[in-house]
Amino acid sequence: MIKKTLGTKQGLLSFHLLIMQNDEGALVELYIPRKCSSSSRIIAATDHAAVQIDLVDVDPKTGRMVPGKVIRYAICGEIRCMGESDDCILRLAKRDGLIPSSF
């Protein structure tokens, strides 16, 4: 965070400039928008009805998730409000081969 001070006719104006950096010091974006997996709509930061579901492979011996084997579905709030999210997730899972197409 960087603090800046500007001189104006009314007096001094102070504000904080937010700069996001990772652990290595490289600049990163403040917000990376997601896209709905079903409708390809951009999910806004204010869409509080949107969900993101991660389906992972599980190691049968340890019962823990296998790193790197994640399928992620993001569903926007508009589709959830229409009551279509379950059909969308089922269709996406069939497309990715998680569920047999005869289901």
Which tens digits make up the pLDDT trace of 72-87? 999 999 999 999 999 9
Q: Is 94 exposed, middle or buried (0-12, 13-18, 19+ CB in 10 A)?
A: middle
pLDDT at 29: 78
Long-range interactions of 8-16: CB distance < 8 A, separation 24+:
none
Q: Which carries the bigger pLDDT value, residue 2 or residue 26?
A: 26
Write the pLDDT tens digit of every residue in 7-65: 555 556 566 667 778 888 888 877 788 999 999 999 998 999 999 999 998 989 999 98
Q: Are 79 and 39 in contact (CB under 8 A)?
A: yes
pLDDT at 89: 94
pLDDT at 28: 81
Instruction: Reduce the DSSP state of residue 54 to 3 states and report it.
Output: strand
Walk me through the domains of the chain, giving residue ranges and CATH numbers: 2-95 (3.30.1230.20)
pTM of whole model > 0.75?
A: no
Q: How far is CA 13 from CA 7, 18, 47, in A?
A: 6, 16, 33
